[in-house]
Chain A
Amino acid sequence: MNDASRAEVAIVAVAELFRGDGELLVSPMGLVPSIGARLARLTFEPDLLLSDGEAYLLDAGGAVEGWQPFRKMLEMIVPHGRRHVVMGANQIDRYGNQNISAIGDHERPVKQLLGVRGAPGNTVNHRTSYWVPRHSRRVFVPSVDVVSGVGYDNAAKAGPSAQRFHDVHRVVTNLGVFDFGGQDHGMRAVSLHLGVEAAEVVEATSFEIELDGAGVTRLPSAEELRLIREVLDPSGSRDREVRS
């Protein structure tokens, strides 16, 4: 029997986002995505490139293997497209539009957030996934207030240049894994984490979501649990981000 916590299941689900990425720069934002990316590199995707969050690329042993200042990121790496980013989201809608800019009217927001950051450029240039630690109606909204990351409907409206490299891959939450393979690129459950009922997801999502055919998110292997607990997050920070 597997005693994995919900956070550990989510970490493995994030790691799975990178399966097949090979020798690609991955940019995980936040704790669970960072642990997931490093777990993928220690197991089934050994060639992934990861930065230290500043200007260095560090290999799995902690050696500096590259230099990647912000300017290189924005002027070369993002437009060149060999990157997979996992961003957070204050709001996401059915078509994968994401908001990290502001809540309410942009002219005078109810709540100012970070700003759009690199989300517009990321989403039209390379693969983008999202991580949401608390799946709720506040996050999964009918329509986002400020489109930061571009969803499938808006990419289509903007035309071929917006769609050419657009690739919103998946959303991992504390409840499950979702993609945009539903009708009209609507959000669809790929898998729900063990013990999560479909009704729970319906209750926590304020738009219609396709749940038929969702499997169960795979559980961490014994080796993955060992790596998470002993190597990647010995202090247990993951359980503060995702409650079991």
Chain B
Amino acid sequence: MADKTATADEVVAGLEDGMTIGIGGWGSRRKPMSLVRAILRSPVKDLTVVSYGGPDIGLLASAGKLRRVVFGFVTLDSIPFDPWFGRVRESGAVEVTEYDEGMFAAALSAAAQRLPFLPTRAGLGSDVLRVNPGLRTVRSPYADGEELVAVPAQELDVAFVHLNRADARGNAQYLGPDPYFDDLFCLAAKQRIVSVEKVVETGDLLDEGPVQSLLLNRSTVDAVVEAPRGAHFTTAVPDYGRDEAFQRHYAECAKDPERWPGFADRFLSGDERAYQKEVARFAEEAK
């Protein structure tokens, strides 16, 4: 059996400028943040990022990595707006494809099912059609004759997702309440990278969750990165919840051009180990 374990820097070294990358999770929930941080350290640029967006988008924006964002929202959940996404939108520094949340899922589903598009009612009558002039509608060939939005397949070069457990072969498990769309991201992608809190033996996967929690099987995973606290500062329940104090600190610094260089220098200039160490120090200082 192939051992698919790798480091974040190894998998990110495989990225090329201009690639389309899908990032799993939802808002500020179970985001593969250690992989995002690895992208920040790499020279790769001009990325199209497809995401139910949270601070993954914010951090990539802060480092000038984004050419285009495909999104339905970008939010930090407990804080409504990500300041960096606001800044790059308001300065015109990124292009966007803005979809309804359901259209976004349809775009990934179409890619996963190798269909050119999927029909949906969502989007009709809204400005999603105006701001995406390439979108087309399709007429039902049946007696109803309904005219629906034909959401084009959103194929991905690479998918990054963060789950709770996996074995070294790539069977991966979520232990929280919601799988989000992580399996769909993997099915829509040519290359699938999963980071996890902990790599365990295959035989131990069912120790912590039911069989239904095995979201990804190894045929849809190319690399496994062990990344304890790798979703920080987003949630990875039940391993840990969102680090609200740190997220507030991130948002405050992101809002303030004078404070951001200090934040980036302290937390983002080193490797993942340095990041986690500084986060621990930050938590100590806050006590």
Interface residues of A (CB under 8 A from B): 54-56, 67, 69-71, 74-75, 78-79, 101-102, 106-121, 123-125, 146-150, 154-155, 157-162, 164-166
Contacting residue for B26 out of A70, A112, A115, A124, CB 8 A: A70
Closest beta carbon of chain B to A132's beta carbon, Å: 16
A108-B278 Cα distance, complex, nearest whole Å: 36
Given contacts A112-B86, A161-B146, contact A121 B125 (CB under 8 A): no
- The contact sample of 7 A-B pairs, CB cut-off 8 A, is A70-B180, A71-B105, A109-B89, A125-B122, A146-B131, A150-B126, A159-B124
Question: Number of residues in B with C-beta < 8 Å to the partner?
Answer: 44
Asked whether B75 lies within 8 Å of A112 as measured between CB atoms, the reply is no
B148 partner residues in chain A, CB cutoff 8 A: 161
Closest beta carbon of chain B to A55's beta carbon, Å: 4
Q: Among A74, A107, A165, A166, find the residue whose CB has the most chain B CB atoms closer than 10 A.
A: A74
Given contacts A55-B177, A106-B127, A160-B146, contact A121 B120 (CB under 8 A): yes
Contacting residue for A120 out of B71, B81, B123, B146, CB 8 A: B123
A116-B97 Cα distance, complex, nearest whole Å: 11
Q: Among B90, B91, B180, find the residue whose CB has the most chain A CB atoms closer than 10 A.
A: B90
A114-B53 Cα distance, complex, nearest whole Å: 10
**Cβ of B6 under 8 Å from chain A:** no
A79 partner residues in chain B, CB cutoff 8 A: 102, 120-122
A109 partner residues in chain B, CB cutoff 8 A: 89-90
Asked whether A108 lies within 8 Å of B101 as measured between CB atoms, the reply is no
A146 partner residues in chain B, CB cutoff 8 A: 127, 131
Given contacts A79-B121, A120-B126, A121-B123, contact A69 B102 (CB under 8 A): no
A237-B223 Cα distance, complex, nearest whole Å: 47
Asked whether B180 lies within 8 Å of A69 as measured between CB atoms, the reply is yes
Contacting residue for A56 out of B53, B91, B177, CB 8 A: B177
Closest beta carbon of chain A to B42's beta carbon, Å: 26
Contacting residue for A75 out of B81, B105, B179, CB 8 A: B105
A107-B92 Cα distance, complex, nearest whole Å: 7
Closest beta carbon of chain B to A124's beta carbon, Å: 5
B146 partner residues in chain A, CB cutoff 8 A: 160-161, 164
